[in-house]
Homo-oligomer: A and B are copies of this chain.
Amino acid sequence: MIVARNLSLGLILYYTWKKLLYYLIVSTTIYILHEYSGLLYFNIPSYTIAALGVALAIFLGFKNDHAYGRWWEARKIWGLMVNYSRAWARQATTLIIPNNEAESEEVHAFQKMLVYRHIAFVNALRVFLRRPHDYNVPKQKELFEEDNTYTDAIPFISEEEYQIFRYQNNPPNFLLQRQGEDLKLAFQKGWLSDYRFVKMEETLVDFNDIQGMSERIKNTPLPRQYTFFSKVFVLIHCTLLPMVFITEMGWKTIPIALIVSFVFLALDMVGERTEDPFENKLEDTPLSSLSITIETNLREQLKEHKDNYPPKYESKEGIIL
């Protein structure tokens, strides 16, 4: 996620220079052919590109609106993760009640285990979501990246649990199943009444929802039939542009066509880069920083000493991952 108000020119050119070069070559070629060759007539009337306007507006508007919709939904889902994580920690510490003073310490350790395993779940889901799909590997190295490995869960679950966890088909779901089994245990020990047991199980269903909604966005791309054609039609439109401009504008065709092409190129690319929010790239939903926020909040609710808190997440060059 970018928080800096202005994007640096370097950043913009890093991702666009190849396409800009193409458009520069196209418009220069058309200018030269038109002016000096005398052989070819490339000029076409301006209403040809006007006629494309409607179609472009719909394809580009579609791509950008829904790319943002996906990104913002991803952020909302992880916002829910923040909210329910805090609720989970409070419920673990206030709804689970020892039968008598003697059990007090055992219950306290049990509460802490539930909260820690939840931090493991948050980290596991982050890692699970940021694994790249084969069809989504970027052609170009990303400028900003972050490590995401399941080992991040080690401090929060037992060694024995970690060994099972890491070989699961769906590791985060395994942790939720474990939480459920431990709630049953607490119920059988009398620390939870029937009603408070089910209340905490309901909070686990909220985490099922959060995980499943995140997986949906991860595994279902914006329909390719839209994103592919928007890319193709921007290419068609911007290739036709210098042919329209050449009749009246002469050499000015080159800079003006480049500027206008850049605007459309930018419009297509910001959609392309926003649409997948879990790919470990600079426009990502900031899962790393949210994981740290959650860990900090939950340790504070457990009344741990501030020294235990993870270090504050710092933005790098106006980017938060």
Contact = CB atoms under 8 A, between A and B. Distances in A.
Given A216-B76, A318-B135, A270 B180 contact: no
B212 A82 contact: yes
Interface string A23-66: 00000000000000000000011111111111111111110111
A286 B216 CA distance: 11
A225 B283 contact: yes
Main secondary structure of the interface of A (DSSP, over half): helix
Contacts of A80: 209, 212
B249 A45 contact: yes
Work out how many copies of this chain go into the complex.
5
Interface string A255-275: 010011001101100100110
Given A68-B226, A199-B201, A300-B173, A135 B184 contact: no
A168 B196 CA distance: 29
A241 interface: yes
Contacts of A131: none
Interface stretch (A89-97, A122-130, A149-157): A89-97
B208 A86 contact: yes
A228 B6 CA distance: 6
A120 interface: no
A71 B228 CA distance: 17
A58 B47 contact: no
Contacts of A79: 212-213, 215-216
Contact of A223 (B68, B82, B244): B68
A286 to B, nearest CB: 8
A129 to B, nearest CB: 14
Given A45-B248, A225-B274, 9 more contacts: A4-B224, A47-B49, A50-B50, A54-B56, A64-B226, A82-B212, A90-B180, A91-B201, A225-B273
- Nearest 8 Cβ contacts at the A-B interface: A83-B212, A79-B216, A46-B47, A2-B224, A94-B184, A225-B270, A90-B180, A94-B180
